[in-house]
């Protein structure tokens, strides 16, 4: 019988490799920069069409953490 799971794991569908992603890397960097400069998360979330919770996780670097910091 053939296993339902692959022998080798698939690469993670992080960031723009996820077909359900609403943001691009450029937008994530814009959210991070704006949040660092003091922009309100609710306003950022509304302007990017995401939830305030998702915006908070991006600003805290807990989601999209695979992206390196920009100088």
- pLDDT (0 to 100) of residue 71: 65
Q: Is 17 domain-assigned?
A: no
CA 70 distance to own-chain centroid? 15
The answer to whether residue 7 is domain-embedded is no
Cα separation, 47 vs 31, in Å, equals 10
| Cβ–Cβ under 8 Å, residues 52 and 41 | yes
Structural domain count, the chain: 1
Is 61 contained in some domain?
yes
Does residue 3 lie in a domain region? no
Domain contains 13: no
Q: Which residues contact 19 (CB under 8 A, 6 or more apart)?
A: 13
pLDDT in tens, 12-54: 788 888 888 899 999 999 999 999 999 999 999 999 999 999 9
- Report d(CA 18, CA 63) in Å as an integer: 13
pTM for this predicted structure: 0.79
Let me know if residue 6 belongs to a domain.
no
**Residue 46 located in a structural domain:** yes
């Amino acid at each position: 019988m053939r296993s339902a799971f692959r022998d080798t794991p698939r690469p993670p569908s992080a960031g723009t490799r996820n077909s359900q992603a609403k943001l691009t890397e450029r937008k994530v960097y814009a959210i991070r920069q704006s949040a660092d400069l003091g922009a309100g998360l609710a306003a950022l979330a509304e302007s990017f069409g995401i939830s305030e919770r998702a915006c908070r996780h991006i600003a805290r670097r807990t989601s999209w953490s695979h992206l390196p910091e920009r100088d």
